[in-house]
Amino acid sequence: MSPEAQKIEFPFTLKIETATGNVTVPIAFLTREQVAEFLQHDFKRLTQEAGAKGARVHIEQAITADYANVLQEVAAYLRRSALKAG
């Protein structure tokens, strides 16, 4: 793979805590700005859409994953969590 085609990834594990349990999702960001964007906007939006009150997120370095799939997994987990709590 040529240097131009290589992507730098920042691998993390995303641990989500809700009133009904925890889930750990592997995640990768291409930039540090994506980490900030996820924490400041995406997670809050997904939590609100799912109606999951009191959800917390912890991010630690880990293996890589597809960001779009991670957003889908997080949203699905938060929806299930809100259904269990309701």
- What is the tens place of the pLDDT at every residue in 56-78? 998 887 655 577 777 888 888 88
Q: How far is CA 51 from CA 20, 29, 40, 45, in A?
A: 13, 25, 17, 10
- Which pLDDT score, from 0 to 100, does residue 4 have? 47
DSSP character at residue 30: S
- What is the tens place of the pLDDT at every residue in 16-32? 998 888 888 877 777 77
What stretches of the chain show up as alpha helix (H) in DSSP?
Answer: 32-37, 43-50, 67-85
Q: Rounded to whole angstroms, how far apart are CA atoms 76 and 25? A: 12
Q: Is the pLDDT of residue 8 over 70?
A: no
Q: Rounded to whole angstroms, how far apart are CA atoms 19 and 46? A: 16
Across residues 34-48, what is the average pLDDT?
Answer: 89
